[in-house]
Amino acid sequence: MTFKTKESRLLLVLGSFFVANSILSEFIGVKIFSVEATLGIRHFNINLLGVPNLSFHMSAGVLTWPLIFIMTDIINEYFGMKQVRFLSILTAILIGYAFFIVWGAMNLSSSDFWVNQKINGQNLNMDNAFAGIFGQGMWIIVGSIVAFLIGQFADVIIFHKIKKITGERALWLRSTGSTLVSQLIDSFVVIFIAFYLNPQYHWSWQMVAAIGLVNYTYKFLVAILMTPILYVVHGIIDNYLGKDLAHKLIKLAGRG
């Protein structure tokens, strides 16, 4: 097969960005950052469900998830549910494969000269740093993959349910609406598996619910703010495909 047609090249590009951003999200997600400190504002220190001093401490994976869901909705819009489901399953397999390769790399015997290094004026054990960054626990890996798949499948189904009602109108409604619901599911599933079921942490359901709600509040706001970008991407693709081909693909995608 060659990528000679516009639609085949488009699917290749969208699919590649979808897979790349999904895998990146898993590996950069080990860093937790403060939204308030990044924006230069005071911590909110929210008290919720009996859990005190909650602030917006987010996984760095949130940098790429808006792009993942834009890619999801664009692929859904032009190529249909089956393509999104295939890419989602393939991506989950590739994420598992990536973690397996990283596990193998962690078990390699490090060269003596590489282990102890000075980074930004501080002595650093590179072996420990490598393991700390890439050595995510099995519960977290499983939780993130399961949450990813459930969120993706929910997004696809809701997108098409809304599209059956609105037709080709109201792209913002089916895209943002499906993202908001799927991210609500994702926000709680990953925490539930990684920290509630995980015997290492023993989180209470109040902790899971409170942190899940705080995380979802952030994702809700970002999803709303990303809506104009969705229209920009949609417009670029329409111009690339041409009006007739774009309409044909959207119509065929709506059939499932």
Task: Name, in order, each residue with C-beta under 8 angstroms of 222's C-beta and a sequence gap of 6 or more.
Answer: 62, 66
For 189, the token pair is: 């599933």
Among 183, 181, 163, 184, CA closest to 172:
163
Distance from C-alpha of 97 to C-alpha of 112, rounded to nearest angstrom: 28
**How many Cα atoms within 13 Å fall on the side-chain side of residue 135?**
10
88-134 pLDDT, tens digit each: 999 999 999 999 999 999 999 999 888 998 888 888 899 988 888 88
Indicate whether 75 pLDDT > 90: yes
Looking at the chain, the number of H-run helices and the number of E-run strands are: 11, 6
Distance from C-alpha of 144 to C-alpha of 146, rounded to nearest angstrom: 6
Residue showing tokens 């993706």: 152
Indicate whether 48 pLDDT > 70: yes
Task: Write the DSSP assignment of 123-161 as a string of letters.
Answer: EEEHHHHHHHHH---HHHHHHHHHHHHHHHHHHHHHHHH
Q: How far is CA 184 from the centre of its chain?
A: 12
* Average pLDDT in the chain: 88
H or E element in which residue 124 lies: strand 122-125
pTM: 0.87
Predicted pLDDT at 2: 64
Mean pLDDT of 158-181: 85
Q: Three-class SS of residue 48?
A: strand
